[in-house]
Chains A and B, each alone.
Chain A
Amino acid sequence: MRISTFWYCLKQGIKNICRNILFSLASVATISACIFLFCLFFSIIANIRHMTYLTETTIGITVFFEEGMTEEEILAVGDEIAQRPEIQEMNFISAEEAWESFQADYFQGMEELAEGFADDNPLASSASYEIFLKDISDQPQMVAYLEKLEGVRKVNYSNAVVAGFSNLNKLVGILSVAIIGILLAVSVFLISNTIHVAAAFRKTENQIMRLIGATNFMIRAPFVVEGVVLGLLGTVIPLGVTYLLYSEAVSYITSHFMNSVNASGILQIIPLDRLFPVMSGVSLGLGVGIGFFVSFFTIRKHLKV
């Protein structure tokens, strides 16, 4: 394609947009709403997943064993547990290590209190395994498995956190797919309508082009340019808004909530510079893709040879 042809198609596409400015604005607004919601849900889901990941790596399952079991017997059960594919990491904490850790946590600065126990380990039957899973949603079945194991006395886990993250993830996922789906359908309808109106405006021009011997590519190009520009505008605007809102939200949440709530270190928001490149890439693909494909297929009806 000649460079002059490229500029010609670009100019005609932009002319189309200006001619039907109201339809064009409506299309841009709908795509913007769609992409904005996409960005919003993308940010929420990405952050929930991030926190879930943190949960998976910081909140584990602790397995305690029956009194009187020797360390060899416990290690044998441990070997059996280690065969499970859901496990990412598994640490054995002996009774001595458990006692040392307890002392460090509770008798710090008051070491004389611990001395009273002398060589007697009050946590002698508290040897345990700390288990971290690859996917936190596997926790219920893993707990059920552990509880049925012979020699297992008690299984400690945080059911509420896991269930909370899992359910929230699902809910936001379903909600976002539903809302984005509806908005996507509205965007497709509006862009298609805008292209139809543009084609009606250019009916004579298209007829002349056909009779002069213009190729379908040449007739179609200005409309596809129009669709792509609408898609691009409808993406850039919400991306800018999301950029500003996200930065503000991060600094607000960090300064107001993080210090008080986030003792466990689980509540951490993904920094904008890590989230934004992926989000803008997907959004641009979505917005420009909608514009391209809808205009491409809509204008086909007007390309009778």
Chain B
Amino acid sequence: MIEISNVTKTYKAGNKAIRKLDIKIADGEFVFIVGRSGSGKSTLLKMLLKEVEPTSGRIIVNNMNLQRMPRRSVPKYRRKLGVVFQDFRLLKDRNVYENVAFAQRVIGVSARKIKENVPEMLKLVGLSAKYKFYPNQLSGGEQQRVAIARALINNPEVLLADEPTGNLDRHNADEIMELLEQINARGTTVIVVTHSQEIVNRMKKRVITMDKGIVVSDKKGGDI
């Protein structure tokens, strides 16, 4: 369960990115967060990732109060979240296998476990045959699949996707959304920030619309 209560975020320049925001997201939900640029979507994701601290209010993720979380506990908390970005953020000097293994290696998973988990994850995202390819040898859709595999390899409870289809054509965007739906069906809470009205309408999921830092609508079943 993610519980955002009365959260406000004002940046140093005085810019109010979030104003008294209240959102609840149940375990296993699939939620779209939509809104224009500057509506506060990205700030919300950053606060969930504990990259940015709210000015006031309370954020609870799976019974953990983020404001009371000591700095040393942040890495462990982040291991329960998976993150996917619009620009994929893959390591260009490493192949598909190494990019996915990287997420386990840096949190100290054993080499034996990594060898077991990575092929399984690549199978899930449909890239088993391309495990030796480097990012520049892959299409945008494939690169985003690698990024999703990397986000999922540590079995996160929540997957945060920031414009995951922003750099993809219609066909690839649909495939990525299908993949996210599959992941959600396995029990992972999925939160997708997007601009694409088309995708939102087609997916028929819960849609939270933000504008100027507040929720202007929260509808289930699609349409903004």
Contacts and interface: CB of A to CB of B under 8 A. Distances in A.
Nearest to A221: B106
B15 interface: no
B93 to A, nearest CB: 9
Contact of B107 (A4, A205, A214, A305): A214
What band does the interface of chain A fall in when counting residues whose beta carbon is under 8 Å from B? 20 to 34
A209 interface: yes
B202 interface: no
A222 to B, nearest CB: 10
B74 A305 contact: yes
A212 B78 contact: yes
A243 to B, nearest CB: 39
Nearest to A205: B91
Nearest to A304: B51
B14 interface: no
Contacts of A4: 105, 110-111
Contacts of A186: none
Contact of B89 (A8, A208, A214, A305): A208
Identify the interface centre among A4, A208, A215, A218: most chain B CB within 10 Å of its CB: A208
Contacts of A205: 91
B78 A211 contact: yes
Interface in A202-252: 204-205, 207-216, 218-219
Given A213-B76, A213-B77, A218 B107 contact: yes
B71 A8 contact: no
Contacts of A215: 75, 107
Contacts of B80: 213
Nearest to A204: B89
B111 A218 contact: no
Contacts of B77: 213
A267 B83 CA distance: 72
Contact of A5 (B76, B108, B154): B108
Q: How large is the interface on B (under 10, 10 to 19, 20 to 34, 35 or more residues)?
A: 20 to 34
Nearest to A219: B106
Contacts of B108: 1-2, 5, 218
Contacts of A210: 75, 78
Contacts of B78: 210-213
Interface string B71-102: 10011111111010000010100000000001
Report whether over half of chain A's contact residues are helix, strand or loop; otherwise say mixed: helix
Contacts of B106: 209, 212, 214, 218-219
B2 interface: no
Given A5-B108, A205-B91, A213 B154 contact: yes
A211 B49 contact: yes
B110 A2 contact: yes
Contacts of B105: 4-5, 8
Contacts of A216: 75
B103 interface: yes
Contacts of A219: 106
Nearest to B80: A213
Interface string B149-183: 01000100000000000000000000000000000
A8 B111 CA distance: 10
A63 to B, nearest CB: 71
A210 B106 CA distance: 10
Given A8-B105, A204-B91, A305-B74, A211 B110 contact: no
A210 B80 CA distance: 13
Interface string A81-115: 00000000000000000000000000000000000
Contacts of B102: 208
B14 to A, nearest CB: 22
A213 B107 contact: yes
Interface in B43-71: 49-51, 71
B107 A212 contact: yes
A216 B102 CA distance: 16
A212 B79 contact: yes
Interface in A131-162: none
Interface in A1-41: 1-2, 4-5, 8
B67 to A, nearest CB: 14
A207 B111 CA distance: 23
Interface of B: 49-51, 71, 74-81, 83, 89, 91, 102-103, 105-108, 110-111, 150, 154
19 contacts: A2-B110, A4-B111, A5-B108, A205-B91, A208-B103, A209-B106, A210-B75, A211-B78, A211-B81, A212-B79, A212-B103, A212-B107, A212-B154, A213-B75, A213-B79, A213-B80, A214-B106, A218-B108, A305-B74
Chain A to chain B: the 5 pairs with minimum beta-carbon distance, closest first = A213-B79, A213-B78, A214-B106, A4-B111, A213-B75
